[in-house]
Structure 1
Amino acid sequence: MPLIKTGGLADVAGSLPAALRSLGHDCRLVLPAFPEALRHTQQIETISQLRLFGYNEPVNLLYGHCGEHQIPVYLVDAPHFFNREGNPYLAPTGDTWADNADRFALFCRAAVEIAVDRAGGNWRPDLVHAHDWQAGLVPALLSVETNRPASVFTIHNLAYQGLFDQETFQRLGLPKSFWSPEGLEFYWQLSFIKGGIAYADRVTTVSPTYSQEIQTPEYGYGLEGLLQHRRHHFSGILNGIDYHAWDPENDPAIAEPFSADHFTHKRLNKLALQRELGLPEDEHIQLFGYIGRLVEQKGVDLILQILPGIIDSGAQVVFLGSGNPDLEQALKKISNKYHSRVGVRIGYDEGLAHRIEAGCDCFLMPSRFEPCGLNQIYSLRYGTVPIVRRTGGLADTVVDVSPATLANGTANGFVFDQANGSSLWQAVERAIEFYQRGEVEWCILATSGMKQDLSWENSAAHYVDLYRQTLVR
């Protein structure tokens, strides 16, 4: 962000470079020249033409700046691969692009040319930080370079690995030495993500708990052995959020600014959200929200199981997202039947996402797994009490309400353990009961989350420490 977004990686790739630059580091972003990225990059100029394996035409390397922080950006301009409608990974039909291996192998080769200063930019980084399977070949390709920069690889979601057949490996012209169980071969398939895990100097993921979870068979997707092998060079650093973009005191998308010191103003955002989504306006009705992909990973089916209970309690629920057509239809059907209790918007709207965070009392996030999660952090920032399953980054950011945590002031949400409807309902029931205690106790709980420091500046400082350790390789 603000160049292009399909998920949380976009927020990280936009916010971390800005935070690193604010700490005095020369951090630059490299990504393919997708049409949307071209539209949002400023002051674009062509700095060189690259001849790269797997592409018949010269690849233009563009340079510009993006966003209010004016982050320097390199765009790898290979129109046949990247100038397409649809999102970066999927065609407009929803199908995966058949040539994704070729597309992202080319992108990785271009990134390596920049990293070793063969791209004509007259700039050589000390360290390259690659993210997810699409950039997984960068650490692998750097490993065969002499006098190379150090490398860090971050896993944002191990469920997406970039798997292709052996014929693809051969077609991509990768070093033959990479085809081994210690390299890119994964049960006779080419694994892009193994390029990062096996070859980077340091490997990270986006929360401490997720770093432990993916070293187990339940969450490791067959890579748990490699991650255990690399455990001394593997760690979890919690994502932050951009406190400038997500600031309830200065958010142009919401109806009324508010803060922990002026928490009563939050109710005006509830009334505005109810009005926007066609729900009866009543500041005393408890309002639950959900923002995200409508898929089973996010536990949307569990929310559907308990919706009758929430409706019977007199509360309201609002949804924003898209995904599984069956889940979309189920939500629409419920919204039509209970139009005074359930508001649904299919799709994604950044402004509405801010207004949901500002207007709701509680945020539902019953994910079956969640490497880090950002919405629970946005919720804490906006005084919207999260209800989450104890997994990944949710476990690292949300402290369950209990007599002990209320007494020491650390409680900021409601947490449950089992990925089933009854466990979620118990947590929601506790939230309903706590809300009914009265405004004073709810305000104390909600504002405790608002006072936490979950900013990118804090997270970036941890990355800087890791970078320094990596440079002493």
Structure 2
Amino acid sequence: MKLLFAAAECAPFFKTGGLGDVAAALPKELVKKDIETVVVLPYFTKMPPQYKEQLEDVMDFTISVGWRQQYCGVKRLWMNGLTYYFIDNMYYFDRESLYGYYDDGERFAFLQMAIIELMERINFIPDVLHVNDYHTAMIPFLLKEKYHWIEAYRSIRTVLTIHNIEFQGQYGKTVLPDLFGMGTERYDDGTVRMGDALNFMKAGILYSDRVNTVSPSYAKEIQTTEFGSGLDQILRMESGKLSGILNGIDYEINDPETDPALVAHYSVDDRSGKADNKDELQRLMGLRPKPEVPLIAVVSRLTYQKGFHLVLDELENLLQFDIQFVLLGTGDPLFENRFQSIAERYPEKCSVSISFDVNLAQKMYAGADIFLMPSAFEPCGLSQMVSMRYGTLPVVHEIGGLKDTVEPFNPIEGSGTGFGFQDFSSYHLMECLKKAIELYDESPAAWDTLCHNAMSKDFSWETCCEGYLALYKSLV
């Protein structure tokens, strides 16, 4: 089987979130399963130099973006058994950030047509073309409405993965003739229109052969008014081709037995080294090393979506308990300032780092006892899986991927891999945290069992990619 995987970001080249992690990990696993895989990405010039040096210029051609004739360079890189192609255009992709520009519609219109027109030129016609989020969601529509005259493309099957339905790519009607060089018939008859806008995501949902999202619960949630961001009716209509496949995490990077960020390595069968990592984390964050006190950690963007208004509502109450609290993240300036203010008032118990630090994040996953993730919604979430891999028990709002990955503690059976609360309120968050603190303080044996359970869970991409293999095989 031949697969083309198209996305707007991919680690380690450039990423802003979960899409970049999936684009890095899934194709790498598919190659191991003997799927001939090519990854196509934009060439964002902020790519780290060590990868730029390995790029090979393959060809260039011209893309008609409406009336504009735009240069399209193609660069190639071989890595991890994969072939990566990068679409090069300085005007569109030589920017400080990946997204958030007034001309994003034009930038991603160019990218999508370039991906389609690249396939014949590199002689790679895939059996399945896998697109991701709104940046590439118009490709299934374009294949059927603009490029249907190319016979080689007619047998291509398409999959759209929705990583976050909030971002849909909504632009004016004139985008169809002005950027894609097409008529407005499918806009006028309502097919690709949502409200008064052309909606890239809606087009992808309707024209893809399969649609999936990154957890089974999120696939159900986005069919509701509360979580569907206006597309819930379309998703209910297309529910026959909608599924949820849980993301995995990279077990090579996130491994407590080998992680270079850790001061001591440990495993599910010998967790003694975890205590050394807790001691180091406490010292790094300016807290007194206290092995007997539960250490609660946060590694996140500080936003309302991630639920940090709930944490701030209760943090000073939480600090009345015999605990320590550490936080690493950036986000809403109001949240940043309030966390810093509380840390200044409680320096013995609370320490925050308003920064982005991958090395410190790994130390927090390994050194903490409890990992806090109270998201309002979470398509999948990776941090809770990473924390479990390191034997740090998550406290989560039972929503989306958090619900699918964290088994709440059952005091009767002594089972579970963490703690969960259902009602999205600061009161229920605090009650859940109190349960975790009480178990840590009073039942070391039960806590130890939960840590063993959490570390024994298999969230590897090797396992998770089986769901994608089944999806592709259902099409071919």
Specify the TM-score bucket, using the shorter chain as the normaliser: over 0.9
Counterpart residue identity of residue 55, structure 2: I
Corresponding residue of 2:46: 36
Choose from 50, 59, 77 the match for 2:72. 59
Q: Which residue of 2 aligns with 1:92?
A: none
Deviation at 1:70, TM superposition (A): 4.5
1:265 maps to which of 273, 284, 288 = 273
1:17-416 to structure 2, matched below 5 A, reads 17-37=27-47, 39=49, 40-41=51-52, 43-54=54-65, 55-66=68-79, 69-85=80-96, 87-89=97-99, 96-114=100-118, 117-118=119-120, 120-144=121-145, 145=148, 146=151, 147-172=154-179, 173-180=181-188, 183-406=191-414, 409=415, 411-416=416-421
Is 2:430 the partner of 1:430? no
Displacement, 1:238?
0.3
2:186 and 2:16 map into 1 onto residues whose CA distance is 30
- CA drift at 1:42: 5.6
Give me the TM-score of the superposition, normalised by structure 1.
0.93
What secondary structure sits across from 2:37 in the alignment? Answer: coil
Instruction: Note the aligned Cα RMSD (angstroms).
Output: 1.5
Q: Per-residue deviation at 1:134?
A: 0.8
Moved more, 278-287 or 244-253: 278-287
How much does 1:153 deviate? 0.2
Residues in 1 aligned to 2:379 and 2:240: alpha-carbon distance in whole angstroms: 20
- CA offset digits 1:36-86 (Å, max 9, x no partner): 3363356312222121122534210111134xx24321101010000112x
- The alpha-carbon deviation at position 197 of structure 1 amounts to 0.8
Q: Deviations over 1:177-211 (max 9, x none)?
A: 33156532111101111121111100000000000
- Please say which of residues 235-244 and 191-200 is displaced more in the overlay: 191-200
- Contact 1:399–1:405 (CA under 8 A) maintained in structure 2: no
Checking the alignment, whether the CA contact within 8 Å between 2:177 and 2:183 is kept in structure 1 is no
Whether the aligned pair in 2 keeps the contact of 1:41 and 1:65 (CA below 8 Å) is no
Q: Is the 8 A contact 1:357 1:378 kept in 2?
A: yes
Note if contact 1:256-1:266 (Cα within 8 Å) is conserved in structure 2: yes
The residue number in structure 2 matching 1:93 is none
**Letter of the structure 2 residue corresponding to residue 294 of structure 1:** L
Deviations 1:399-440 (A, max 9, x none): 11123452xx4x111110111100100100000110012432
Paired residue secondary structure (1:102):
helix
Distance 1:297 1:74, change over 3 A: same
Q: 2:471 aligned to 441, 444, 466, which one?
A: 466
**For 2:313, what is the secondary structure of its paired residue?**
helix
Question: 1:97 & 1:139 partners in 2: Cα distance?
Answer: 24
Distance in 1 (alpha carbons) for counterparts of 2:48 and 2:339: 36
Partner of 2:458: 453
Q: Number of paired residues? A: 456
Which residues of structure 1 form unaligned runs of 5+? Answer: 90-95
Pair 1:443–1:41, CA change in 2 (3 A): farther
Q: Give the residue type in structure 2 aligned to 1:171.
A: D
Question: Percent identity, aligned pairs only?
Answer: 36
User: In structure 2, the residue corresponding to 1:212 is in which secondary structure?
Assistant: helix
Structure 2 CA distance for aligned equivalents of residues 415 and 248 of structure 1: 24
Superposition misfits of 4+ residues, deviation over 3 angstroms: 167-170
Give the CA deviation at 1:233: 0.5
Deviation at 1:14, TM superposition (A): 0.3
Distance 1:423 1:97 in 2: 39
- Cα distance, 1:292 vs structure 2: 1.2
Q: 1:123 to 1:182 in 2, by over 3 A?
A: same
Determine the C-alpha separation between the residues in 1 that align with 2:240 and 2:413.
Answer: 33
Classify the secondary structure of the residue corresponding to 1:220: coil
Unaligned runs of 5+ in 2: 1-10
Looking at structure 2, the residues matched to 286 and 82 of structure 1 have their Cα atoms a distance apart, in angstroms, of: 46
* Cα distance in 1 between the residues matched to 2:129 and 2:190: 22
- Separation (CA, whole Å) in 2 of partners of 1:187 and 1:293: 31
- 2: distance between equivalents of 1:220 and 1:174? 29
**Superposed displacement of residue 131, structure 1:** 0.6
Separation (CA, whole Å) in 2 of partners of 1:421 and 1:156? 27
Aligned to 2:342, what secondary structure does the other structure show?
Answer: helix
- The answer to whether structure 1 residue 439 and structure 2 residue 444 are counterparts is yes
**Deviation (angstroms), 1:469:** 0.4
